[in-house]
Structure formats: C-alpha cells, structure tokens
Amino acid sequence: MIWLLCIGVAVMIFFFGAGIMCYKAGMIRRDKYDRNYVPERDDNMPMSLHATEYRRSSKPFNKWWNAQPLQRLEMTSDDGLLLKAGYLPADKDEHKLAIVVHGHHCCAGEEGFISKMFHEAGFHVLAMDQRSHGASEGKFITMGYLESRDIKKWADLMAEQHPDCKMVLYGASMGGATVCMASELDLPEQIKCIISDCAYTNAREVFAAEMHRAYNWLPCKKFILELTARISELYGKFNINDSNPKGAVSNAKLPMLFIQGTTDDQVPEHMAQELYDAHPGDNKELLFFEGSGHNVSYFHETERYRNACLSFFEKYSK
C-alpha cells in the first residue's frame, strides 16, 4: 500500500512538474537582459552554436536598428506596466507609418530587418518591446491577448501624433498573433491594413504543436497541457483560451496579408490557411514561402517578401 501511495505521489509530482516546465517555457519572461543590441555587451558575445536561423540572420539588423537616431518612447499599459518603444522618423515625410511587432522571447531590435524594409520604403517606423520582453516591464506573457490591447494603445498614440499618416500594422510569430488579435479591436482609422507572418491560430494549439516537437517524449500531453492552462490561470491570471487569433480574425474588418514558410517547425503551415479562411472579407491575401522555416521567409526571398508587403499596403492605403 505504501509503495502504491509513493508511486501515486511520484506520478503527481511528475505531471505537475511537467506542467510547470511548459508554463515557464511559454508564458514566463525568459531573457535576463534586454535582447536589443548593445555594442559593449554583444560585440564580445559569440553567437551560440545552437542559435536559430532567425537569430543568426536578424543579428546584423538588430545592430542596425539600435544604431539609428531613435526617439525612445514610453507608455503605460492598461494594467500598469511601463512599455518602451523606438520610433524612427522617415528621411522624408511621405505620410506613411509602420508599426512593427516582434515575436515570442524576442525584442524590437531583432525585427530590425522588417523595420529597415519599411524605413527604406519611406515609412516612419515604430517598433516596441512587447510586455515581458526587451526593455518593457512585465513577467507574464499572454500570447497576444493583453499584448493586442497594448498595440491598440500604441496605434492610438501614433494616430494622435501623426493624424495625416496612413499606417500598416505588421507582426511576426507571436507578434503576428498579436496583430491578428488586434484586428477585431477598434483601431484608429489611420490603420489601413494588417500583415501577419507565421502567426498561430490559438495559444492552446501552438503549445500542443510545440510539445510534440520539443517534448515528444512526454506522456499524456493533453493532460499536461490542461495542467499548464490551470497553472497559467493560477499564477499569470491568464486563460490560454483567451489567446485566439483565429477567432479575432473572424471579426476583422481591415485587409490582411498572411505569410507563412512551408517548413516552419514552430507554427504549422496549416495555421496560416486557417487564419486566411477565417477572415470574412475578400480583402485578404495568403502567401507561402517554399522551404522557409520560422520567421525567416524574408531572408529566403527578400525581394518577393518586400514587394508583397509594400504592394499590399499600397493597394489598400489609397
């Protein structure tokens, strides 16, 4: 009897520990410092041998972004977090502005290749560190739910400061999910379209996909995912079912461009198709990049990617 009790306790500890592990991996701030490029720190820090293609490819652009004459902006979220962003004015004011939203466990600087793309096309650019990322405050990540409310506040601020600008909202990975979640909100009229790269349909499904990819050895994955959800509600005050980009997109009114790499091992290819199908209008496009992994389509076919984004904006900003 005692042995059975010990086995039962051990099983409970294992599953609870697995739930905690998944919760910390997905919804707790991971970086111990701001990932935005800092010369005195990063020039002497070699790139990890295990760095992803995205991190290797984005590093020079991270350096470029943080070397620009940025205006450093701050804003307080609805729940009291201090959020920070960089604003780069266009060389010549063409009354265009891009809001660029980075992904999970990343920062504004690492999405510098997109900021540079828009800036070179004559856009003012705002790139913020999302809550619990980079220089912004926060401990808990809500996978696009509260982040989308933050983005609306940034968009409102930009619309107030640049009432004559036509704007595009761009996001990649969790940033893509964030802008998808924002698509159902009351965005300012200056926002003309939304571009989403490698966004997921909802947090629960992307966590399940990641568990199969990174923790395939775990038994009872659905049970562990449910434990993770309960832990998130208890500690982070966040229900992962609230992060539902697909549901938000079904209420979208703005034109949306969805981009997806076909060999993405973090966000399954079918999710882009589901988001596209969920959008209720005919003012939408879906673009696949053959052989591209997670958030690296730009680096594989730069001109095609650039032309797709800019032509989509031009089409719907007239």
pLDDT, one tens digit per residue, over 121-130 is 999 999 999 9
pLDDT mean over 227-251: 84
Distance in angstroms (rounded) separating the CA atoms of residues 50 and 311: 36
Joined tokens for residue 63: 């350096």
The identity of residue 317, as a single letter, is S
Q: Regarding predicted confidence, which is higher, 201 or 10? A: 201
Distance in angstroms (rounded) separating the CA atoms of residues 148 and 78: 11
| 260-279 CB burial, b ≥16 within 10 A, e <16 | bbeebebbbeebbebbbebb
The pLDDT assigned to 58 comes to 93
**What is the percentage of the chain residues whose pLDDT exceeds 90?**
70
Confidence band for 225, pLDDT divided at 50, 70 and 90: confident
The pLDDT assigned to 3 comes to 65
pLDDT digits (tens, 9 = 90+) for 78-115: 999 999 999 999 999 999 999 999 999 999 999 999 99
The pLDDT assigned to 64 comes to 95
The pLDDT assigned to 89 comes to 98
Joined tokens for residue 5: 């009790």
The pLDDT assigned to 220 comes to 61
Residue 286: beta bridge partners?
Answer: 258
The pLDDT assigned to 13 comes to 63
The number of residues in the chain equals: 318
pLDDT mean over 161-165: 97
**What is the percentage of the chain residues whose pLDDT exceeds 70?**
87
Q: Regarding predicted confidence, which is higher, 238 or 104? A: 104
pLDDT mean over 255-262: 98
The pLDDT assigned to 234 comes to 73
Taking Cα atoms as reference points, which of 291, 284, 269, 256 lies closest to residue 201?
A: 269
Joined tokens for residue 196: 């989403």
Does the pLDDT at position 267 exceed 80?
Answer: yes
Distance in angstroms (rounded) separating the CA atoms of residues 216 and 258: 29
Domain with CATH 3.40.50.1820 in the chain: 53-202+243-316
What is the fold, at CATH topology level, of the domain defined by 53-202+243-316? Rossmann fold (3.40.50)
Confidence band for 69, pLDDT divided at 50, 70 and 90: very high
Distance in angstroms (rounded) separating the CA atoms of residues 275 and 195: 12
